Amino acid sequence: MVDLRALLAPASVAIVGASADELTLRGRLTHTMVMHPYPGPLHLVSRSRSTILDRPTVPSLTAVDEPIDLAVLLVPASAVAETLEEAGRCGVRAATVIASGFAEEQGQAGTVLQRRIRDVARHHGILLNGPNSEGFVVPARGLAATFSPVLDRSLPEAVWGETMFRPLSIIAQSGALGFGLYEIARHKGLPVDHVITTGNEACLDVCDYLEHVLDHGDAGVLVLYVEEIRNGRRFMALARRALIEGRPIALAKSGVSEAGRRSAISHTGALAGSDSVYDAVFRRLGIARAGGMEELIDIAATFARYIPRQRPEGRRIGIASSSGGAAAWFADSCVSTGLDVPALDADSRARIDPLLPSYGSSANPVDATAQAIYAVGYAGFIEILSESPSIDMVAQVATLGTTKIMERESGKLAAVSRRLAKPTVMWSYTIPARRSIEIAARAGVPLMADMRHAARAMAALADHAEAFHASMAPFNELPDPIPNPSGNGVVLCEAEAREVLSSCGVPVGPAELAASPEAAVSAWRRFERPVALKVQSPHIPHKSDIGAVALDLSDEAAVRAAYRKVLDNVLTSSPTAELRGVLVQPMADPGVETIVGSVTDPTFGPMVMVGLGGLFAETLRDFVLSPAPVDEAEARAMIGRLKGASLFAGTRGRPPSDTEALVALIVRVSTVTLARNNHIAEIDLNPVIVQAHGLTVADALIVTT
């Protein structure tokens, strides 16, 4: 753990390179620092001016006659290392480097310069924010070490009096986006206790800042913008801590293109692209991923209002609206995010019906009509819906461009919001007036101007609640590590992989390795059923691609002919491949073809996968990842998240599949992966044929590290 209080809660600050010229970044930052109520000593360092903004200056850090916690360096990139050396000699404990011109630039010069300032900072024990940072703000301390124009006094106040929203802590790997998020949060009346932009992270990374706000901040919600997470295992540990403590994370991450996928030997590795891994980690830890800035803050606002006090008990949402069309469209958005819009119970409908004109409807969504909304008010319908046993959360669809109804019932809305146990949001299908935003914020009701954000925010609440409850479930202790099967950097072909997996309790079923046509025929006779022949070679991971597989062989002549043919195909297409025989395996009973595997991600470690498999695994791309360990509950949830999950229920006369056998296999692969996590890079079981009773691992491959 790194103690960042000298950086983010400094007892004294020096601005090196201070300026009065607000047309420059140096001047803007100087003005911002001076105009905010920082209570400690603030020293302005300038070689050219004796006073700046009516404050005396000193010519250098060495001229400051008291200890300095934080130095804000407003010097060119070429002078940063020398200035850091001076700061180190003066005992400065922390610094933020605003200058650009380091590793973000093309070529090696900037990278070399960044490495140099990193070494200087480490040598002197200086906590270094940046370089290429836009600084940070800690409003409660009056600390505004940034040049961002978002800190102009012309912006609205962050909070209108007492608030029911817990504070946000914003940490961003982009300075502009970090302060853009801050501006949106303030516009919505949300309290913010930190805004930290990390810059190039030469020394401190996003995990260091995340740990600081968990240890020392008042944050109820952590709002992150990330481009890369360098220490995945540490991030996961911190995110799990935040989940358990009831301080949810709302996050945006850039870099989702297919260019991020890596090449891999197995189907598992090919499917597990970097962005898929990020999504799996976020889902497991209850982290809500947003697609835009306002969506991110809308999700954060909903988290800030309802977690941990009012976690939803399920995914059922009740909708009331002054517009039938808006209600129907919003219901579609809710369903598309994974929420349920169930029929309303009879008692609740009986309470609503007398309030509606003949052209209204008490079904869910409730078409309250403008007439009933004007008579009853938004709060009245929210109250009825929130008391319904049929739903877990409420959305009020409104038109808030005019404030008459909101002004009239602001007190009732606040009272209902404080009394009711179910999360509630409002979506305005007209641009909400500033006063409407203020009334909703004071009442403690998250208000959104985009229906997709409102639906996504409520789905994120449900997702977080599910992740929280899953994190509380006990999990069996992991087994002791199993010895490495065959050295490092080795591809184990199916015969070898089956032996290893069988020793670990994975049900791989019978098979025999044959070195001649006669041996293959003998194996076929012992199995007493049709067989498959598969050439075994560590150099041929995908056997069907080159005709190294023959299926459904049911007589001696067919087995002999197929043996010769598959070997001839290999010798033609891969003449240098090392051959280890031909595997003879009984044909499996029909069932649902799946893929089960694991891959060791370089950032987050072992990941477990299940998907629809067979020859088209990479074409269908219907798969789900989850960080290991995976227990039975998580394995069931993974299967349920597949697009083709309904196939396991049985179709066109086929019986339901034995999903519990698949669950057990997923858990076993997770256990093996962790037990061998220093040796196994990938496990690929494809296809795994899930039958009515049990399953068959029809092919297997292991890649060691």
Task: Look at residue 185 and tell me whether its pLDDT is greater than 90.
Answer: yes
Amino acid at 520: A
Task: Look at residue 258 and tell me whether its pLDDT is greater than 60.
Answer: no
User: Residue 426 CB: number of other CB atoms within 10 A?
Assistant: 24
Mean pLDDT of 52-70: 96
Task: Look at residue 157 and tell me whether its pLDDT is greater than 60.
Answer: no
Task: Look at residue 487 and tell me whether its pLDDT is greater than 60.
Answer: no
Listed range (157-166, 184-193, 587-596, 618-627) with the worst mean pLDDT: 157-166
pLDDT at 659: 97
Q: How far is CA 591 from the centre of its chain?
A: 34
DSSP symbols for 32-95: HHHHS---S-EEEE-SS-SEETTEEEESSGGG--S--SEEEE-S-HHHHHHHHHHHHHTT--EE
696: left (phi over 0), alpha (psi -120 to 50) or beta: beta
Give the global pTM: 0.92
Write down all domains in the chain, each with its CATH number in brackets.
Answer: 1-134 (3.40.50.720), 316-432 (3.40.50.261), 508-586 (3.30.1490.20), 592-704 (3.30.470.20)
Dihedral, CA of residue 258, residue 295, residue 248 and residue 631, to nearest 10: -40
What's the chain's average pLDDT? 92
Q: How far is CA 590 from the centre of its chain?
A: 37
pLDDT at 262: 43
Interval 92-114: pLDDT, tens:
999 999 999 999 888 899 999 99
Mean pLDDT of 379-387: 95
Task: Look at residue 392 and tell me whether its pLDDT is greater than 50.
Answer: yes
- Tell me which residue has tokens 């940490």: 171
